[in-house]
Structure 1
Amino acid sequence: MLFFFGDYIHLNLPNSGLVTSFCAGIEPNRVFSLILVYAYSTNFGVICCPFMVCLMRLIILISPRHHERYCQYLKNWFAIPFIFLVPLALTSFNITTTGYCKQLNYPYDFGSIILYEGDDYARINIYIHLSFSCCLFVTNTLMTFFMFYKLRMTHNSSTSNNTKRLTRKAEFSLFLAIVSSVVPFITNSICSTVFLINRDSWESVLFLRPIGNDFETTMMPWVLFLSHPMFRSKKTSAKISTVSMSGTLQMRKKSSVSKVV
């Protein structure tokens, strides 16, 4: 939610043309810089979330008996500082610049603008964003391949059909999770690379950025909920409990009827 709001203020609302006349009467100021820091920080936070999910799944796989304690430590002492403090550290230098409204080039119409920090600062931001996203994506991929390896070893060494079925579901969940993280990485990398190589063509590929980010923020929770065995077991147990409760009620009704008779 925080990312959607920041991205909306930074890109979507200005390039719609609704605030063009308002921005035309405002001088470059530091308030725009703070908005840019907020937008970039939330973007980095979104990039961090798949990494944290993958790390927690790795902990659950490695230590299934004590994973609750380890995940609690991870959440309190690493996840929260990592998601909030690291993005601020990577974007806080933008406070020193002066943000302003910039007219977008073709294919955008006249009046389509964005909040901009200048080419020099934008280039630094893109270098940081590209490096950070590449590092986390490579780390996620390595952890995912390791989890695939552990699940495959468990599948081959186990003789239980139930265990093999659960490992297949876990592998499918990992596959969908890595696919959902590949799409935004590709779209953001295309936008960043085009900006660094050919600045004039950046506006032509800018539409890919929100598509990839929206895909990740919506697909990742659904992938985990629909494919992860943990949620599947909860659904199954809920169904079983419902059936057992209905059966118990029917038995009680029958017994009460027999007593009356």
Structure 2
Amino acid sequence: MSVSFNLSSLNGTVHFDESYMNYEFNWKQFPTAFATLPWIYMIPSFLVICEIFNVYINSNWKKAEPGKNQHVFLIISLSQFTCFALFFSDFWMTRLPSTGIFTSYCATIPPNHWLKCILFAALYFNYLAMSFPFLLPVIRLIIVTFPKRHVIINTILIRYGVPLILLFPICFTFYLIPALGVCKQRASPYPFGAIWIYYINSAFGLRNSFFHLYNLIFWMTLSIIANFLLFYQVGQARSRLIRAQTSGTSKRAHTSITITTLAMITFYVTNGSFLLMYIFYYGTNSYFSYAEIIRPFGNDLQTCVVTWVFYLTHPAFQKKKSMDSDLIFSTSSFRRRVDIII
């Protein structure tokens, strides 16, 4: 793959810098431990994500079960697989290069599109990880609002919404098309030789930081609004309740999905906080610059916390199944039976 670049654009990178070309990897530094530690909790979390997806694949969705909904399980599975993909791509973009294991090699090669592909993958999955959580409260809101037609409506939503979300990150990464991937020295407190993958020669000189920040605010706002409307609709439905025999399974599932949704929202807050500290303090002497060390661990929260909260609290993963009746609602013109929780 042929590339062209201006040598002046290599300032601040490790490429063709003799001090980096002669660098010797030393595993006895904190970046090595920080690159190894996440696998201790990520591998079990990934296995749990596979178990969640297994329930979605193997369940008989034609047979209604209290506390289970096909579209809810699909979106949670997609969201968590995306979060793991974000972890994996970010591992190759920041955590592994920070150990210094590739520093001398990277210093001997020119900027190229292959390095950019690693960066693009991390940004792409980051935008997906922001988008998918929004669908969860929307699906639940449709179930509560349209109890007779929610399967049809949510099927259409998934059919068109998921492909649109998969294409959505292109709108905020198009400037990487002409760009080249480079290796740069990480700022203090990282030691000499700790590098990460960045880019140069982007279209129109655009940068990702503010696109990322605006998307965080946008998706967090939409998710909060969707959850507010959902809780409002649930309250309205309960006010119309004539006779309720709320199943223990439905109650536990409702609590599980609610906690899971709220845990997803915390990802926006933590991600946004670290991003702001990066924008204002990266490379400075401020104590906030140290936040860059723990930023990847903050991003891991959505993968691990959301996955384990859902797995440990949802009745679909508990061996003991109880057979209870669902909630019964009535309006002025008809009475209908509906599971309100998902």
TM-score, scaled relative to structure 2? 0.61
Q: If you compute each CA radius of gyration, which structure gives the higher value, 1 or 2?
A: 1
| 2:68 match | none
One-letter amino acid of the structure 2 residue matched with residue 61 of structure 1: V
CA-to-partner distance for each residue in 1:117-142, whole Å, 9 max, x for gaps?
Answer: 25988973011111111111111011
Q: What are the residue-to-residue correspondences of 1:127-146 with 2, within 5 Å?
A: 127-146=210-229
Displacement after TM superposition at 1:75 (Å) = 1.5
| 2:292 match | 206
Displacement after TM superposition at 1:159 (Å) = 4.4
For residues 131 and 139 of structure 1, what CA distance do their matches in structure 2 show?
12
CA-to-partner distance for each residue in 1:70-100, whole Å, 9 max, x for gaps?
Answer: 2221111122221x10112211211222221
One-letter amino acid of the structure 2 residue matched with residue 10 of structure 1: M
Secondary structure of the 2:123 match is helix
Q: Does 1:19 align with 2:105?
A: no
Instruction: Check whether the contact 1:141–1:178 (CA below 8 A) recurs between aligned residues.
Output: no
Secondary structure of the 1:151 match is helix
Q: Which stretch has the larger CA shift, 155-164 or 100-109?
A: 155-164
Instruction: Check whether the contact 2:115–2:197 (CA below 8 A) recurs between aligned residues.
Output: yes
One-letter amino acid of the structure 2 residue matched with residue 179 of structure 1: L
Secondary structure of the 1:58 match is helix
Q: Does 1:217 align with 2:300?
A: no
Secondary structure of the 2:196 match is strand
For residues 93 and 227 of structure 2, what CA distance do their matches in structure 1 show?
33
One-letter amino acid of the structure 2 residue matched with residue 107 of structure 1: P
Give the direction of change, closer, same or farther, for the CA distance of 1:49–1:149 in structure 2 (3 Å limit): same
One-letter amino acid of the structure 1 residue matched with residue 321 of structure 2: T
Instruction: Check whether the contact 1:47–1:133 (CA below 8 A) recurs between aligned residues.
Output: yes
2:172 to 66, 84, 90: 90
Secondary structure of the 2:283 match is helix
2:128 to 26, 33, 45: 45
One-letter amino acid of the structure 2 residue matched with residue 40 of structure 1: L
Q: What are the residue-to-residue correspondences of 1:170-249 with 2, within 5 Å?
A: 172-173=255-256, 175-201=258-284, 203-227=289-313, 231=316, 236=321
For residues 146 and 170 of structure 1, what CA distance do their matches in structure 2 show?
19
Give the direction of change, closer, same or farther, for the CA distance of 1:222–1:159 in structure 2 (3 Å limit): farther
Displacement after TM superposition at 1:168 (Å) = 5.5
| 2:192 match | 110
RCO (CA 8 Å, sep 6+): is it higher in 1 or 2? 2
**Percent sequence identity over matched residues?**
28
Give the direction of change, closer, same or farther, for the CA distance of 1:10–1:22 in structure 2 (3 Å limit): same
For residues 139 and 207 of structure 1, what CA distance do their matches in structure 2 show?
29
Displacement after TM superposition at 1:145 (Å) = 1.2
Displacement after TM superposition at 1:182 (Å) = 3.5
For residues 210 and 114 of structure 1, what CA distance do their matches in structure 2 show?
13
| 2:62 match | none
Secondary structure of the 2:101 match is coil
| 1:55 match | 138
Gaps of 5+ in 2: 1-83, 324-342
| 1:160 match | 243
For residues 112 and 72 of structure 1, what CA distance do their matches in structure 2 show?
47
TM-score, scaled relative to structure 1? 0.78
Gaps of 5+ in 1: 239-261
For residues 153 and 227 of structure 1, what CA distance do their matches in structure 2 show?
26
Displacement after TM superposition at 1:177 (Å) = 2.7
Aligned positions, number: 237
Q: Which stretch has the larger CA shift, 42-51 or 155-164?
A: 155-164
Displacement after TM superposition at 1:175 (Å) = 4.2
For residues 206 and 312 of structure 2, what CA distance do their matches in structure 1 show?
39
Instruction: Check whether the contact 1:10–1:114 (CA below 8 A) recurs between aligned residues.
Output: yes
Secondary structure of the 1:99 match is strand
